[in-house]
Amino acid sequence: MKKTSYLATAIIAGAIAAPAAAQDADPDFFNGFYVGGSISTETVDDGPNSAIVFDTDQDGDYGERVRTTTGANAFSPGLCNGRPAGGPAQISCLDDDTELGYQAKIGYDARVGDIAVAGLVLEGSKPNAIDYANGFSTTPASYTTSREVDYSVALRGRLGISPGSGRGFIYATGGVTYAKMDHDFFTTNGANSFTQVNDDKWVFGTQLGAGGELYITDNISFNLEYLMTRYDDDDFYVNVGPGTAGPTNPFLLVSGGTNLAPANDLTVQSIRAGLNFRF
């Protein structure tokens, strides 16, 4: 989180410094259609509560504990978020990998007054961000969910200022996104049955960020942007059934089965660098 905040600050500071020339803005800068592309670093926001959660009575409310016949917590070894670092007897996780993403976009900017600029951008993206959540039971056994943003489409607005010569643009941005989310599940438990529900689906999300853009020729501009995306991913779960397990199996005690799922909606932070060709 701190590294991301430093990068976002650098984006804005650099954009402010770039267009500091004293002459009037050229009305042709940031005024019309453009197409562009970018590459990005995609980092999953691993919060302290981003492990797996359980619904033992299968009523849709999560946050319950899976207990043994004696009332003990069957997952007392622990829960963690990130990539699992070992087998079921090694209760530890590593940070999720920072992945490279790719974007293509088309947009339109318009000058409003002397220095203000407003615009819209339609973007297709392949973020490649993967999030893992884990639980470890006393059996011992491990349980891991993963979810990957395969590709997405986003519509965002941009609003900011283009002072000085008008070759630079500092802006805030925000909008909505629609993404293809792929889910998977892994476990070392060979007794129970595990059925994934809503494992591959499209989900909505929101985006907020800030950035800077600078003309490097009369038709090409360089863009650096920080973006936070939150995906509404709350439909996926894994139904744990009897399989070959007996009736005293902790997953079966309350309702004959248990649902498990990632704890939170998925949040991804990205730093993007790209070029835009302006008509």
CB within 8 A of 102, min separation 6: which ones?
A: 37, 38, 39, 40, 125, 126
CA distance 198 to 185: 12
pLDDT at 51: 83
Q: Kindly report the average pLDDT of the chain as a whole number.
A: 88
For residue 223, count other CB atoms closer than 10 A to its CB: 22
Cβ proximity of 146 and 132 under 8 Å: yes
Number of domains into which the chain is organized = 1
The pairing of beta strand 168-187 with beta strand 220-231: unpaired
CA distance 278 to 30: 8
Residue 27: band (very low, low, confident or very high) from pLDDT cuts 50, 70, 90: low
* 7 φ/ψ angles, rounded to the nearest 5 degrees: -65, -40
Is 223 within 8 Å of 14 (Cβ atoms)? no
Question: Which tens digit of pLDDT belongs to each residue from 250-269?
Answer: 999 999 999 999 988 899 99
Q: How far apart are CA 54 and CA 17, in angstroms?
A: 51
Q: Is the pLDDT of residue 10 over 60?
A: no
The amino acid that residue 59 corresponds to is: D
Q: Is the pLDDT of residue 111 over 90?
A: yes
Cα-based angle 202, 208, 209 (whole degrees, multiple of 5): 130
Residue found under tokens 């504990």: 65
The answer on pLDDT for 86 being more than 90 is: no
* pLDDT higher at 67 or 83: 67
Q: What is the mean pLDDT of residues 228-235?
A: 93
Q: What is the pLDDT of residues 167-198, one digit of tens each?
A: 999 999 999 999 999 999 999 999 999 999 99
Selected residue with higher pLDDT from 242 and 15: 242
Mean pLDDT score, 82-88: 74
pLDDT value of residue 264: 84
Mean pLDDT of 204-231: 97
Sheet holding 237-241, edge to edge: 52-55, 258-262, 237-241, 193-197
Q: What is the pLDDT of residue 114?
A: 86
Instruction: CATH number of the domain at 11, please.
Output: 2.40.160.20
Give residue 44's domain range: 2-278
How far, in Å, CA of 192 to CA of 87, rounded?
A: 18
Q: What is the mean predicted confidence (pLDDT) over 70-81?
A: 92
pLDDT tier, 18 (very low <50, low <70, confident <90, very high otherwise): very low
Query: Under the phi-then-psi rule, with left for phi > 0, alpha for psi from -120 to 50, and beta for the rest, what region is 119?
Result: beta
**Region 111-132 average pLDDT:** 93
